[in-house]
Amino acid sequence: MQSQQERLSAAARALAAAEDRAGLANQVASERSQRPEGTKGTERADGTEGTEGEAVGQVPQRADRPRRQVAARQVTRGSAPPPPDSAQEGAEPVPVDVARAIVLRQLSMGPRSRKQLEDKLRSRGCPDDVAAKVLDRMTAVGLVDDQSFAEMLIRSRQAGRGLAKRALAQELRTRGVDDEVVQQALGAIDPETERVRAEELASRRLRTMAGLEPTVQARRLSGMLARKGYPPSVVYAVVRDAVNGAPEHQRD
């Protein structure tokens, strides 16, 4: 079995032989081009005389084939890729395509309201008419939907931070959601469920206040629930029950 070095040597010899044949064919073609017109017979690369039908100066196919094969291998192995089209390189991007790419990138990072996307496009220099066209299309296919965005944000903030209606409405308006959409989304919140959530928050926070005076505990709990958007009536009732029901304040 031949070793790799032997195979490489054999390939190199074959390539050299092909180049020699190609050089001989070039020489023959040069000699033929110098013959006077009307000369009969042509000399092949192997030294034999051709027929009268062969055109003067024509290189026979057998002699020319190795040269074509070598040239093809050189193009395949060592040629550089064609230069890029300068017209395509200098082409300006289409504004609609740029705006669409910005919107899709923003949505890939998380839900966004239409107003948030409009602000992002404006900050990137996108014309308002182009932004409107792209966002209208995104809305038509359901990628931009303020109603779904509001419902998602409400669920997320309720579960993660325990926010109540007032704080949720403020956050949605800050994100540019229309008031009508905000009210519709908040209308699905059950007041009783909100009261239960406030009690859970107060109970968890109260466990971190052991040893403090009841008035201090009540003040801190009230401030915490108010910041989360619970109405005063709910705050008062929940804090009163939580502080009075704490084991440390129970009389023996």
Tell whether 39 is covered by a domain: no
CATH number assigned to the domain comprising residue 164? 1.10.10
Domain tally, the chain: 3
Tell whether 100 is covered by a domain: yes
Tokens representing 83 are 């230069």
Residue identified by tokens 């009261």 is 195
Tell whether 180 is covered by a domain: yes
Q: Is 57 left (phi over 0), alpha (psi -120 to 50) or beta?
A: left
Question: What percentage of the chain's residues is helix, strand, coil (to nearest 5)?
Answer: 65, 0, 30
Residues written for the chain:
252
Cβ proximity of 121 and 99 under 8 Å: yes
Tell whether 114 is covered by a domain: yes
Tell whether 159 is covered by a domain: yes
Tell whether 106 is covered by a domain: yes
Which of 155, 174, 189 terminates a domain? The answer is 189
Tokens representing 71 are 């040239």
What is the residue type of 151? Answer: E
Tell whether 46 is covered by a domain: no
SS (H, E, C) 136-192: HHHHHCCCCCHHHHHHHHHHHHHHHHCCCHHHHHHHHHHCCCCHHHHHHHHCCCCHH
Cβ proximity of 99 and 118 under 8 Å: no
Q: Which residues contact 120 (CB under 8 A, 6 or more apart)?
A: 102, 103, 106, 112
Q: Which residues contact 64 (CB under 8 A, 6 or more apart)?
A: 25
Mean pLDDT of successive 10-residue stretches along the chain, which has 252 residues: 48 50 57 56 50 47 52 48 50 83 93 95 94 94 94 93 95 95 93 93 92 92 95 94 83 60
Q: What is the pLDDT of residue 251?
A: 65
Pair (199, 239) in one structural domain: yes
Q: What is the pLDDT of residue 248?
A: 75
Pair (172, 213) in one structural domain: no
Cβ of 102: how many Cβ atoms within 10 Å?
18
In the DSSP assignment, the letter for residue 245 is T
Q: What is the pLDDT of residue 59?
A: 46
pTM, entire model:
0.59
The Cα 146–Cα 129 span in angstroms is 20
Tell whether 85 is covered by a domain: no
Residue identified by tokens 């704490």 is 246
Q: What is the pLDDT of residue 94?
A: 86
CA atoms within 13 Å, Cβ hemisphere of 228:
25
The domain in which residue 164 lies consists of 145-189
